[in-house]
Structures are given as C-alpha cells and as structure tokens.
Amino acid sequence: MKAIGNHISIIAANIKGKVSINEDILPHSQSILLTLSSINIAKTFPENSGPNHSSTTKSLENIWSEKDLFSIAMKDSVEKAKDLVLSSESGDRQNIAKSLGALGKTCGSCHNKFRKKKN
Amino acid sequence: MAPVIINLEKRKIKKVIILLFIFIILNKNDAFSTENGKILSFVAGCYGCHTSNAEQPFGGGYKIKTKFGVFISPNISKDSINGIGTWNKEDFIKAVKKGISPNNKPYYPAFPYNWYINMSENDILDIYEYIYSLPAISNKVTNHNLKFPYNIRELLWFWKFTEKIVSNKKYVDNNKKNNRGEYLVNSVAHCGACHSPRTFLSIIKDYNNLSGQKESSKILNDGIPNISNDINNGIGLWSNSDLIFFLQTGIKPNGDFAEEDMSIIIENGTKYLSPNDLEEIAKYILKNNN
C-alpha cells in the first residue's frame, strides 16, 4: 500500500507543477492499477492476522468480519485506478487531477473504515 | 393626437425597460448571495454537521461523538416545527455569532460560534438565504445524549463566563486588508476548533494556535495533528500547492490521505472553495509564525 502512496505522491507532484507534466504520470498510474488489481485479499489479509492476533497490524478487525464490504471497496479502488490510467493516457492535467482525486477518495474511505487511525 | 399616443407608448416602454433592468439587477444580487451562502455553508461546516442524510440537507441528526457524550446536530432547515422556520434574520445572527438560541438558551460549544463571532453579518445572512432557498425538512431530531453533568445546559453559562476570562481570543480584523486567509481559517472554516489545544473544561486559550491536540487535551477520541507552519511538528515543509491540493482532494504530499473527520470536511467543505480562497488559506497557514 505504501508503494501506491509513493506513486500517488509523484503524480500529485506533477499535477501541482512541482515537476513538469511528463511521461512519468502514465507508468505511475499503470503501477497503481497493477498493484491494486494484483491484491489477493485472502493472501494479503489471511485469517488470524487481524488485530486480535497481531499487535503490529494497522488493519481493523472488520476487514475479516465485513469481508464483502472490504472486497467491494477494493474493487471500487481498482475501477478508479483504471480511470486514472485512461486520463493519464489523455495527458489532460485537469482530468488526471479529477481521476486522482476520485481514486484518493476511495483509498481514504477504505482507510477510514478498515485501517487504524494514525496518531 | 397620434404623436401624443406614440410619446405615451414610448414612456411606457421606457418604464418597462427600467423596471426590467431593476428586476434583473436584484435577481443577480440574489443569485450571487445564495451562491456565496451555499459555499460558505459548506466551508463553515453547516452542511456537514447538520446533514445526516444527503437527501435531507440541513435536516440534522448528525452524531458527534465526544468524551462528554454524543451531540446530535439539530435540524436547521426552514421547517417551522422541527427546523428554524420561525427564526428571523436577527435570531440567526445571534445564534451563529453568540451561541444563544432565540429563546435565550446557550448552545453547547460543539457548535463553533466562538469562531463565527468574527464572520461578517453579510456572509451569515447569505447562509441564511441559502438555507431558506431549500425545501423544509421535517426530520425530528432527538436530544443530545450527554454524560452528567454536561447534560445540564444551564451550566453552559458558567462555561461561557470562564471561557471569556481564560481565552485570549484572537479576533479577525475584518477591516484589515488582505486578511481573507485569516478570515477563512480563524472564522469561517474554524480550523482551530479541532486543531487548537484545549485546556481546562475544553476551553481554547489561544484561538490562533494551530498546533493540534494531544491525547490528554483532546475533545474527540483521537489526537489532532499540528497544522501550524512548524517544520518539525507541523506542516511547515508543505508548499502552498501541497496544502491547496490537500484541501481539494484529501491527498497529502506523501501520497497518504486525510483521515476521519478531515476527509469529511474536505468532501463537504473545503473542496468547494475557489482557487483564490485556497491560495489565501495556504498563504496564511504556511507563512504565519505560530
């Protein structure tokens, strides 16, 4: 998940004009899509690895108790990542920003529901 | 006779044109104030806090969980029975700026009137007009569910008195030029309501301090981050564009996302701000020296 954050950070830096908009955006968008769509929930979040069994995990117990909801949230993120790739191919800065914002919303919403809050 | 009739007709046409012109101007002003009211109602959190169901805007029922118990936001739609439909403009201004209801009962400071006190009356009335331009919502909201002794509303008079003595409340000078960022941060968006440290009885000592709330002084059940321009503990390393992008999308410079309440505040509030207003907020937060 941290890798996805890094890719998002680079795309955001492009949109903000910190680096000039360039061919970096597309491979980063594709990497996000590849990473998200490769996540196998059963393998990434195996049974008995939740907070009741591990003190180091940031995951909340409802990843396992509300599996269906978690799965829907992950699928939604993959769809938004596909949109990001499409807009990155177009090279339109506004579209990319919009798609990145939409993806960010799904990521944030998932973190709010299924990840321990950072202090 | 004919020229007289033509002259009369011309006069009538002139009158109609003038009346039409006045009508258009008045309507234009109305549209402008309602639009301003709409954006401000989002940024000031009126919509976010008083809406629990998107199909019933301002119908109340939103739950705010605190260590004092659960506050349940009232219905502030124009419904005459369960909302604020019987309020006049003065009632609304008094409630927003002083935290006192039309029948002189104090509001709990979960309603951030201590920040709104610095809002211009024009902006407050724009919000009033906007809320009144929407349908009445008949949703009847239950009472707050607070622990003893916080459930005794009359004690709030004591809180208000103590707060007045303890706080060195910073008032936004609306006459000062170029204070748009300060006005938005310290009044409309009331950033300090969450990001200023609270002391005894959850009172904020310094309204201009955005250094966050630690575990011991929090009002909510979580720590609140430091958003001052401090390089080590705050967001002093963020650029203006980082903060603007964050307030539009919830995406932090490191690729992480706004959490919990802040994600809601962005979604229901700051993302509606104009690029100019966002720029002013960034300039104020990142360049002032708290």
Beta bridge partners of B143: none
* B254/A5 touch (CB, cutoff 8 Å), yes or no: yes
Determine the distance in angstroms separating the CA of A108 from the nearest CA of chain B, rounded to an integer: 5
Rounded Cα distance, B148 and B69, in Å:
9
pLDDT at A48: 78
Rounded Cα distance, A9 and B253, in Å:
6
Q: Which helix (H) or strand (E) holds B71?
A: strand B69-72
User: In a structure prediction context, what are the per-residue pLDDT tens digits for chain B, which is 290 residues long?
Assistant: 555 555 657 777 777 777 766 655 555 445 558 889 999 999 999 999 999 999 999 999 999 888 889 999 999 999 999 999 999 999 999 999 999 999 999 999 999 999 999 899 999 999 999 999 999 999 999 999 999 999 999 999 999 999 888 886 666 666 666 789 999 999 999 999 989 888 878 888 888 889 888 753 344 446 789 999 999 999 999 999 999 999 999 999 988 888 878 888 999 999 999 999 999 999 999 985 43
Closest Cα in chain A to B251: A104
- Which of A16, A117, A119 lies at the smallest CB-CB distance from B245? A16
Rounded Cα distance, B72 and B241, in Å:
36
* B259/A111 touch (CB, cutoff 8 Å), yes or no: yes
- Global pTM? 0.82
Q: Which of A94, A74, A91, A84 is nearest to A16 (CA)?
A: A94
| CA distances from residue B205 to A53, A75, B99, B117, B210 in whole angstroms, order as listed | 42, 46, 18, 16, 11
In terms of residues, how long is chain A? 119
What residues in chain A have their Cβ under 8 A from chain B's Cβ atoms? Answer: 4-10, 12-13, 15-18, 97, 100-101, 104-105, 107-109, 111-112, 117-119
State both tokens at B159: 């809180």
In terms of residues, how long is chain B? 290
Return phi, psi of residue B92, to 5°: -65, -45
pLDDT at B218: 42
Examine the pLDDT at A86 and tell me if it is beyond 50: yes
CATH architecture of the domain formed by A2-41+62-114: Up-down Bundle (1.20)
* A101/B267 touch (CB, cutoff 8 Å), yes or no: no
State both tokens at B282: 């960034």
Q: A interface mutation test: which of B214, B218, B220, B256 has the most A CBs within 10 A?
A: B256
**Strand B145-146 with B63-66, pairing:** unpaired
State both tokens at A69: 């909801």
For chain B, what are the domain ranges? 1-166, 168-290
pLDDT at B8: 58
Chain A hits for B239, Cβ within 8 Å: 16, 18
- DSSP-assigned states of every residue in A45-94: S-TT-STTT-SS--B-THHHHTHHHHHHHHHHHHHHHHHHHHHHHHT-HH
Quick: pLDDT tens for A18-75.
766 555 789 999 999 999 999 888 888 888 777 877 777 888 888 888 888 989 999 9
ipTM of the complex: 0.79
- Which of A9, A100, A118 lies at the smallest CB-CB distance from B253? A9
For chain A, what are the domain ranges? 2-41+62-114
Name the residue type at position B130: Y
Average pLDDT over residues A92-108: 90
| CA distances from residue A93 to A15, A24, A35, B79, B236 in whole angstroms, order as listed | 6, 13, 23, 44, 27
- Which of B215, B241, B263 lies at the smallest CB-CB distance from A108? B263
What residues in chain B have their Cβ under 8 A from chain A's Cβ atoms? Answer: 215, 222-223, 239, 241-242, 244-245, 248-251, 253-260, 263, 267
| CA distances from residue B73 to A49, B63, B94, B110 in whole angstroms, order as listed | 38, 7, 18, 9
pLDDT at A50: 77
pLDDT at B290: 39
